[in-house]
Amino acid sequence: MEKRKTKKEIVKMLLKNNELEEQDEEELLNLLIDQPISIDVDKQEEAKMTRGDRIADKVSEIAGSWGFILGFSSFLIFWVILNSVILKGKLKIDEYPFILLNLLLSCLAALQAPVIMMSQNRQAAKDSLRNQNDYRTDLKSELILEDLHTKMEEILKNQRKILRIIDQEEEENSKK
């Protein structure tokens, strides 16, 4: 039966493909096993955020809320009523078909879409960093579990040896 490779051996094989020296491999393995590798992605990303990133996040937060939708719908209804009922015949600011309103809406959409996409791109980068962190944590857990499994097998093997020795001594004592 073919001997199954341990996780450490698999990681070593992966590392050899990157042409690392043996000392570097051992250092990396020890880092993976002995030291905490998980990070707080939110804190790390927050530390790297620029002013533009914060503005993009805030605009996305506001533009994606029910308050914005209801407020903007109220503004549109107010605009239509103001220009078609209240100011009809008095001031001609924006008569039907509301060309000025269409221009304002187009400008808002043209500015809002890239800002929201910037925020989404940052969120995607954050998710990618979180996934990498999860992978490292999972890899470390697998290595630790493999190591514990090996140690448990060794303990069981030693326990069987001790039991055999005890059994042999009892047989010898019973023969005497």
52-77 pLDDT, tens digit each: 888 888 988 998 899 999 999 999 99
At 27, list the tokens. 């250092």
pTM of the model: 0.56
Rounded CA separation 71/47 (Å): 33
Burial class (CB in 10 A: 0-12, 13-18, 19+), 158: exposed
Do residues 53 and 118 touch, judged by C-beta distance below 8 A?
yes
Q: What is the pLDDT of residue 7?
A: 59
Q: Is the dihedral of CA 145, 151, 157, 158 positive or negative?
A: negative
Q: What is the pLDDT of residue 21?
A: 58
User: What would the mean pLDDT of 4-22 be, rounded to a whole number?
Assistant: 59
Q: What is the pLDDT of residue 48?
A: 85
Residue 14 pLDDT > 60, yes or no? no
Over its C-alpha atoms, the chain yields an Rg (Å, rounded) of: 34
Rounded CA separation 11/13 (Å): 5
Higher pLDDT, 151 or 22: 151
Contact partners, residue 106, CB within 8 Å, separation at least 6: none
